[in-house]
């Protein structure tokens, strides 16, 4: 082969196995040390806007820099600007629960770095995804109709919003085909239903797929009904739209809403969706994980009546960002709406229709080999370990709830369903006000309590407003959170509230 030499290439090798080995070992130790020391950092970053943009060079470095220098900069510049979602004192939003198993999965999938847009581009990526989606289907006791062995199937999306977009487009195309004739005219008449507790991503997804936002019905819920979507209110809203000549398209039910973890009654609601020929989707982003425990599975009763179901493994299933699992009852609904079949990707396996080409189940063409991390998580912890993980956090949340209930300075505002507790300072906490203070005053105090607790840097929580009441959401679910951290939180709550009430 000496005959076709060209002038020597004087190149670095950015995938030199031995240099890879050396540097990656360094970073493993860096991250292990980070987890060891994580309680030393303020949970919510305390930097000011612009802290990093001011410090960093304005242009890319010309020459390569050694990993040792870069890691020093991670310590000096990056870590102070991180809000430490992995800290055991992180109780904000919903958890983003990392684990060693998921980390190893990310390493492997990044190491292989295939682009599994169709089966052939990396058969293992597609087939392992089908395998783990069937495992999860069984774990959640989802109906057989969502399985690949029937007409359904599961796919890993990056986010719930992507699942909303894809199912909305599937539902929209189905409906437009039913009505034929004037697409634009029909499109303008399509209506989407949800509750005022539904995640705001649904609204965004509607905006993306071209549903008039004036045709998105956000049905009011009530505290007295535990913020569940009311079947009567839904029926009335749909009937009113139908009378007005509009076309019901899609309804979203939630199991484990973001503000309070409310769970909609799927059984009766899905009947309504069927009656009006609407696509029904269940968003169990947070609470889906809990439903692998038999004692929580009843929250999914009725799921057999809907068209699609999704939950986020990246919240509470020990799986790193981004991993939203979506199942549909009729996979051709998705593929009819999202398929592309360009010459460039033609291949025998796809032509025979014997394989799944996941590009037709999602927005993008490219995709990471995310099944790898789910597979690693499930095998590393087993069903028993995963259930134990869920139950641990639920037990801690029950414990924290009991402490609040036993103390008349506090009010648990909504019943706890899973591992999140919503509380406020009770209007009766102020000894000086015999009949209780106003909600406004309680709101002001509760918000001050939250800010004071977060300001400590030891814990981090976020809030919700429900029927005019400001509540602190304590979402227990960080992988490292243990009994001592919940007890520390309780001691802090006690200390800070005394200070506040004394003023």
For its own copies, the closer CB: 193 or 369:
369
We find the least distance from the C-beta atom of residue 261 to its own copies, in angstroms, to be 13
We find the least distance from the C-beta atom of residue 157 to its own copies, in angstroms, to be 9
φ/ψ of residue 256, rounded to 5: 95, 65
CA dihedral 24, 27, 29, 30 (to 10 degrees): 180
For its own copies, the closer CB: 270 or 333:
333
CA 330 to chain centre: 23
For its own copies, the closer CB: 43 or 266:
43
We find the least distance from the C-beta atom of residue 410 to its own copies, in angstroms, to be 14
Tokens standing for 197?
Answer: 């507790």
We find the least distance from the C-beta atom of residue 241 to its own copies, in angstroms, to be 15
φ/ψ of residue 194, rounded to 5: -160, -175
489 vs 495: CA distance, rounded Å:
10
For its own copies, the closer CB: 239 or 491:
491
For 378-392, the DSSP string reads HHHHHHHHHHHHHHH
151 vs 129: CA distance, rounded Å:
17
For its own copies, the closer CB: 156 or 272:
156
For its own copies, the closer CB: 21 or 298:
21
We find the least distance from the C-beta atom of residue 98 to its own copies, in angstroms, to be 4
We find the least distance from the C-beta atom of residue 399 to its own copies, in angstroms, to be 5
For its own copies, the closer CB: 232 or 343:
343
For its own copies, the closer CB: 94 or 266:
94
Quote the Cα angle for 213-215-220, to 5°.
95
31 vs 34: CA distance, rounded Å:
5
466 vs 422: CA distance, rounded Å:
10
Tokens standing for 266?
Answer: 């799927």
38 vs 32: CA distance, rounded Å:
10
124 vs 103: CA distance, rounded Å:
19
What is the biggest distance separating any 2 CA atoms in the chain, rounded to whole angstroms?
98
For its own copies, the closer CB: 266 or 376:
376
We find the least distance from the C-beta atom of residue 224 to its own copies, in angstroms, to be 20
Cis peptide bond prior to 322, omega within 30° of 0: yes
We find the least distance from the C-beta atom of residue 179 to its own copies, in angstroms, to be 13
97 vs 28: CA distance, rounded Å:
18
Tokens standing for 498?
Answer: 């005394």
* Secondary structure element (H or E) that encloses residue 190, with its range: strand 190-195
- Positive/negative CA dihedral, 77, 78, 81, 84: negative
For its own copies, the closer CB: 302 or 316:
316
Tokens standing for 459?
Answer: 């814990």
We find the least distance from the C-beta atom of residue 28 to its own copies, in angstroms, to be 4
Within 10 A of 390 (CB to CB), how many other CB atoms are there? 22
We find the least distance from the C-beta atom of residue 480 to its own copies, in angstroms, to be 5
């Amino acid at each position: 082969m000496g005959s076709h030499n060209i002038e020597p290439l004087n190149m670095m090798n950015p995938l030199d196995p031995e240099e890879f080995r050396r540097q990656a070992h360094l970073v493993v130790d860096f991250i292990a040390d980070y987890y060891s020391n994580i309680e030393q950092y303020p949970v919510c970053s305390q930097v000011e806007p612009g802290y990093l943009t001011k410090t960093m060079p304005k242009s890319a470095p010309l020459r390569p820099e050694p990993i040792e220098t870069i890691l020093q900069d991670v310590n000096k510049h990056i870590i102070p600007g991180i809000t430490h979602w992995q800290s055991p004192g992180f109780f904000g939003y919903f958890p983003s629960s990392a684990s060693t198993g998921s980390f190893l999965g990310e390493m492997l999938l990044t190491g292989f770095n295939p682009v599994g847009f169709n089966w052939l581009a990396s058969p293992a990526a597609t087939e392992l995804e089908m395998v783990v989606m069937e495992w999860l289907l069984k774990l959640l006791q989802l109906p057989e109709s969502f399985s690949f062995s029937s007409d359904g199937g599961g796919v890993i999306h990056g986010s719930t919003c992507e699942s909303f977009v894809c199912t909305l487009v599937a539902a929209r195309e189905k409906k437009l085909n039913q009505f034929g004739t004037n697409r634009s005219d029909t499109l303008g008449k399509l209506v989407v239903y949800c509750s005022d507790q539904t995640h705001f991503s649904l609204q965004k997804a509607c905006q993306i797929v071209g549903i008039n936002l004036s045709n998105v019905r956000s049905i009011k819920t009530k505290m007295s009904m535990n913020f569940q979507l009311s079947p009567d209110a839904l029926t009335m809203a749909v009937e009113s739209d139908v009378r007005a000549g509009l076309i019901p398209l899609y309804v979203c039910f939630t199991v484990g809403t973001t503000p309070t973890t409310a769970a909609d009654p799927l059984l009766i609601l899905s009947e309504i969706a069927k009656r009006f020929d609407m696509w029904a989707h269940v968003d169990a982003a947070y609470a889906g994980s809990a439903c692998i425990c038999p004692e929580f599975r009843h929250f999914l009763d009725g799921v057999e009546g809907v068209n699609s179901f999704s939950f986020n493994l990246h919240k509470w299933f020990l799986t790193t960002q981004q991993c939203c699992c979506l199942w549909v009852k009729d996979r051709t609904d998705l593929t009819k709406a999202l398929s592309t079949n360009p010459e460039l990707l033609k291949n025998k396996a796809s032509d025979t229709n014997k394989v799944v080409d996941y590009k037709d189940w999602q927005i993008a063409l490219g995709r990471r080999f995310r099944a790898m991390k789910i597979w690693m998580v499930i095998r590393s912890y087993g069903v028993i370990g995963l259930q134990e993980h869920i139950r641990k956090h639920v037990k801690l949340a029950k414990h924290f709830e009991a402490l609040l209930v036993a103390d008349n300075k506090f009010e648990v505002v909504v019943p706890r369903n899973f591992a999140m507790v919503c509380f406020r300072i009770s209007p009766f906490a102020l000894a000086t006000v015999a009949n209780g203070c106003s909600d406004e005053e309680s709101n002001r105090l509760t918000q001050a309590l939250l800010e004071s607790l977060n300001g400590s840097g030891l814990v981090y929580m976020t809030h919700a407003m429900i029927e005019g009441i400001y509540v602190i959401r304590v979402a227990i679910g960080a992988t490292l959170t243990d009994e001592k951290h919940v007890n520390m939180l309780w001691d802090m709550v006690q200390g800070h509230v005394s200070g506040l009430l004394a003023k």
